[in-house]
Amino acid sequence: MMGSMRAAFQVVTAWVLTAWVLTGCGSGGGPPAPVAPPAPAVPCLDVGAEAAYVECLQRANDAVWQTRFAGAGRSYVSPRLTVPDQAPRSDRTRDRAFFNARTGVHFPTTYLDDVRAAHGEHARIVLSFTVAHETGHHVQWLVRPRLRAPTRDIELQADCYAGMWARSQVAVGDLDPAVFREGAVAELRRLSADPEEVDSHGAVDERVASLDRGLAAGDPEACDVGTLTWLPAPTPGVVVTG
Ligand SMILES: [Zn+2]
């Protein structure tokens, strides 16, 4: 499952070595020209502390959504981010990342520990998906403060929004879509071991299909699910003809 992600890292390493060798063999006898380090597989990977890494990812998500909202004539405000702990009392036992309309995006200690234990060196790639998914919930709330829809639709749209964010980062050279997707799929498989997670969020295949829809389109409208539309839905009672 994680083999090809590891292969991707190995390819990057090989590329760096090749670039160094080629540069080192350059003519002229002078010192080799400096080789720019390759871009991280996802944004912020070079940020040291885990909490700072998540905060950096949140800013990367905010930047994309700020542009999308502005393009639609809407205002975007960043979610409050808590990482780790400091969840509201009613949410203190939660072991997953979550969005609370009142208190924002939360990354509980338990969730971070679980991701590290399950994914090891790839944990940060996994967190890039989770930050994008939770930010997707924040976006849903901004678009529809009185959000009413089937839970599974809400979750599948958040997966799609995560893919849309990733696509936007690919477009500016800040993300390797294959590495991001492998991390996301690995986490979706881990979470799907819990039947309640599948009931509320959808089966792995459905979730990956939603993620892929966002990755392919890079457009929030491509993530519309039922009544959860990016653009305002038609006013009820108004019949559109033609
Ligand atoms: Zn969710």
Give me 12's structure tokens: 């990057």
Q: Given this model, what pLDDT does residue 141 score?
A: 96
Strand ranges in the chain using DSSP code E only, listed in sequence order: 81-82, 98-100, 104-106
Q: Quote the ligand 1 centre to 68 CA distance (angstroms).
A: 20
Within 144-218, residue ranges assigned H as helices are 151-171, 177-191, 195-201, 204-217
The sign of the CA dihedral 106, 110, 111, 116 is positive
Q: Given this model, what pLDDT does residue 22 score?
A: 37
Q: Given this model, what pLDDT does residue 40 score?
A: 82
Q: Given this model, what pLDDT does residue 17 score?
A: 39
Q: Given this model, what pLDDT does residue 3 score?
A: 53
Mean pLDDT split into 10-residue runs, the chain, 242 residues: 51 41 45 74 95 97 97 96 79 84 94 97 98 98 92 97 97 95 98 93 97 94 95 58 46
Q: Quote the ligand 1 centre to 148 CA distance (angstroms).
A: 14
Q: Quote the ligand 1 centre to 23 CA distance (angstroms).
A: 46
Q: Quote the ligand 1 centre to 132 CA distance (angstroms).
A: 10
Q: Quote the ligand 1 centre to 172 CA distance (angstroms).
A: 26
CA 226/CA 239 separation, integer angstroms? 18
Q: Quote the ligand 1 centre to 189 CA distance (angstroms).
A: 15
Q: What are phi and psi of 195, to 5 degrees?
A: -55, -35
- The tally of CA atoms less than 13 A away on the side-chain side of residue 90 is 5
